[in-house]
Amino acid sequence: MERASSIIREGYVVAFTGAGISTASGIPDYRGPNGLWKRFDPRDFTIDVFLSDPKRYWARRLERKKNAGFDPLKASPNPAHTALTDLQQMGLLREIITQNTDGLHQKAKSTRVVELHGNANQCVCIDCGRKYPTLWAEEIAEKIGDPPLCSECNRPLKPDVVLFGEQLNSLSMELASQAVTNCRSVLVVGTTASVYPASIFPRIAKRSGAKLLEINQEPTELTDKIADLSILGDCSEILPELLSGLRE
């Protein structure tokens, strides 16, 4: 903990977060042993399915939501998210690069959040770029049994997330790249940093001379290799503890 504090105290920290930061908010890891992708077929949620048969895509999506037993759109931030907001307000943490689409960093009032995989709280028209709340779009889809449409161009709305087979947004990639190239350290939280291409960012940071500090339940590919320090455990307990140490 003391080593972690001294790395963070140097400032210019960038956080890199994944599913593990949101599990304490009730959102299960899609890829974990009980993850959603063990119960639902990822092949139903590709960009190709969306483009060729949006009706099927939306039907599967509503089915998945019903069977998932939770609604990530209604989740609240947990003490790990709030601790990052506090670190930002103390001027120690700069950008937050997240692989999550739950929008919980923003709900926790964090700023400078780079969402590599988009935000599931909104849907987007792939023609005009207009955005709509997902809860509203889902309600419409449920009611009419068809995909929700853009009120301007009548095209089916797409959840504003990166679907399987879809490219990551180039602006987000650029912002994340800049952040990790310029920072002094990266705080890797709740991610195994193994899903490409997001997984490149901690590695770019390391190559650019930054220190890597990771907090995760289990050891990852970074542990004992490129991470300078690994703390194993629940990030919703460790981050608040780290924060109170920094405030002393």
- Number of chain positions touching Zn ion (CB under 5 A): 7
Kindly tell me the burial class for residue 167, based on how many C-beta atoms sit within 10 Å of its own C-beta (0-12, 13-18, 19 or more): exposed
Considering only 59-67, 72-80, 143-151, 200-208, which stretch makes contact with Zn ion by CB under 5 A?
Answer: 143-151
Q: What is the distance between the alpha carbons of residues 222 and 229, in angstroms, rounded to a whole number?
A: 10
Q: Does 152 bind Zn ion (CB under 5 A)?
A: yes
Q: Is 151 in the site for Zn ion (CB under 5 A)?
A: no
Run of H or E including 215: strand 211-216
Question: Nearer Cβ to Zn ion, position 10 or 152?
Answer: 152
Rule CB under 5 A: is residue 176 a binding residue for Zn ion? no
The residue written with tokens 């895509």 in the block is 57
Q: Given 61, 81, 117, 158, which residue is catalytic?
A: 117
State the minimum distance, in angstroms, from the CB of residue 123 to Zn ion.
11
Task: Report the alpha-carbon distance of residue 72 to residue 103 in Å, rounded.
Answer: 9
- Residue with smaller CB distance to Zn ion, 127 or 146: 127
Sheet holding 118-125, edge to edge: 131-133, 118-125, 157-161
Complex with Zn ion: residue 72 or 156, whichever CB lies closer: 156
* 124 or 187: CB nearest Zn ion: 124
Q: How far is the CB of 95 from Zn ion (least distance, A)?
A: 30
Select the residue interacting with Zn ion from 10, 63, 127, 146 (CB under 5 A).
127
Please indicate whether residue 117 is annotated as part of the active site.
yes
In whole angstroms, give the CA distance from residue 92 to residue 10. Answer: 8
At 2, give phi and psi (nearest 5°): -65, -40
CB of 131 to Zn ion, least distance (A): 10
Cβ(71)–Cβ(65) under 8 Å?
Answer: yes
- Using CB under 5 A, list all residues that contact Zn ion: 125, 127-128, 130, 150, 152-153
